[in-house]
Structure 1
């Protein structure tokens, strides 16, 4: 899991996410040390199309792999807050790191595996190497109030570095065909179109049809 954080007060219990097809998974997140006043989730959902993005001090950001249960819990709470309509007060996105209170503002998972459940699989690389050299991004999210600050780009770029350290050569991400902001983010990060989810599969799973994007990564030996 990848983590993007800023400093802010609070604590957290234990949480872990698992992808059944993965044999290796990590979270990356962005954190910040500066307090940010977040809207309640319901208000954010109602008004986010009309509100201005909150500018942040980029010098306070840390982009890193999650390394503790507190960080994992805070990242999981941000996902609940981002993907579902729950009360924000019920889900703490803060944690304490070396005595400093920080706030998770963006997160994603890096899954080293052949495929993700209920998703079309990538085709690169071929053969036995695919067991070790293919990976997928999932659960990519940034706090609504901080959209358009470049945080999504920061965690995607960090995930590419982590993937290279793992020996990944082919990185994939699934995105809804009508999610233009996400597609723009991944294209800006170097991803290109590889495949489309069949319409029948999207109907069967009762969700928008997805496309599969790919990027090739240099081997660490080539860096």
Structure 2
């Protein structure tokens, strides 16, 4: 099942995702796109919404060539879920997100557009993870991977488009099957802002999940829950790193974690509730209409209660 936080959906279930980097995309005209020019989020079930650098897009790619392959059962114990930093890992994570959150057709020029989106989002993700993005105290990209040589019968069970999400790790071929970002920041652009924790400076302990997704063919294997569990551990242990200001140096970990979920994405909401998130707020209809996307719920988890 695939996971995103608020707008994407796979043949089974998608998790949460937030916009990659939340910028404003001004693409050059492409005659191969439909007249409406609106990029469509995949029709699969997303668990969270993606904070891409492109922000809220207003154009559409006509048809869909999303993989129709039936879900594949795999042994979760063969997977690895960890923070990633290398260019290869970040690039593979972005390719999975683009593949999950967008529907593309096979018309001329679409592949170039896909590459454009991938490179744009890769650069935006790399900037955030490196701590260079203003407004983000810290960002971590977490990937769930499988060894392609020992799993899925040497990867032969996955369709060709899925193979684009593999990378080499210590000489071994791996495939990214799930990914998400943990963002330590006061708010995400164009999204509801969490209310906790309260107090002066307390909002520095607030975090958000974004870009949560699991490959469609591999949903319902536990990767989504493994990603959420790992993200909570990473957020809690960020207190081991130093937060510097002009007058003080102190430790800051995340105590309150948020995720945005599309109001009509009941599967994603249940997924997060199972993971310890509860309802805190919801977006007014006028705001969603203004931004041209589905209305969202804001869910909250108290990491102080986590073991």
TM-score interval (norm. to shorter): 0.7 to 0.9
Q: Which residue of 1 aligns with 2:81?
A: 63
Higher strand fraction (1 or 2)? 1
Q: Give the CA RMSD over aligned residues.
A: 2.2
Tell me what 2:188 maps to: 116
Moved more, 90-99 or 210-219: 90-99
The 3-state SS of whatever aligns with 1:56 is: coil
Q: 1:102 to 1:91 in 2, by over 3 A?
A: closer
Structure 2 CA distance for aligned equivalents of residues 69 and 84 of structure 1: 22
1:169 pairs with 2:169: no
Task: Report if the CA contact (8 A) 2:207-2:258 is conserved.
Answer: yes
Rounded to whole Å, the distance in 2 between the matches of 1:217 and 1:82 is 28
1:130 paired residue among 195, 202, 214: 202
* C-alpha distance in 2 between matches for 1:161 and 1:90: 29
3-state SS, counterpart of residue 286 of structure 2: helix
Q: State the number of aligned residues.
A: 180
Residue 141 in structure 1 maps to residue 213 in structure 2: yes
Instruction: Check conservation: 2:196, 2:203, Cα contact below 8 A.
Output: no
What pairs with 1:1-223 in structure 2 (closer than 5 Å)? 18=21, 42-44=65-67, 47=68, 52-86=70-104, 89=161, 92-166=164-238, 167-218=253-304
The separation in 1 between residues aligned to 2:204 and 2:294, in whole angstroms, is 30
Q: Distance in 2 between matches of 1:193 and 1:212?
A: 6
Q: Which runs of no fewer than 5 residues in structure 2 stay unpaired? A: 1-19, 24-63, 105-110, 112-159, 239-252
SS in 1 for 2:236: helix
1:175 CA drift (Å): 0.3
Q: Relative to structure 1, is the Cα distance of residues 163 and 67 closer, same or farther in structure 2, using a 3 angstrom cutoff?
A: same
Structure 1 residue ranges without an equivalent (≥5): 1-16, 21-40
- TM-score, normalising length: structure 1: 0.75
Cα deviation, residue 180, structure 1 = 1.6
Distance 1:85 1:203 in 2: 21
Q: Which residue of 1 aligns with 2:17?
A: none
1:146/1:210 Cα in 2 relative to 1: closer, same or farther (>3 Å)? same
Structure 1 position 134, deviation (Å): 0.1
Q: Give the TM-score normalised by the residue count of structure 2.
A: 0.55
* SS of aligned partner of 2:201: helix
Give per-residue Cα distances to partners, 1:172-196, cap 9 Å, x unaligned.
Answer: 0000011122111100100000001
Find the structure with the greater CA-based Rg: 2
Cα distance in 2 between the residues matched to 1:172 and 1:187: 12
Distance 1:146 1:90 in 2: 11
CA distance in structure 2 between the aligned counterparts of 1:141 and 1:110, rounded to whole angstroms: 13
The alpha-carbon deviation at position 58 of structure 1 amounts to: 1.5
How far apart, CA to CA, are the structure 1 residues paired with 2:70 and 2:235?
Answer: 34
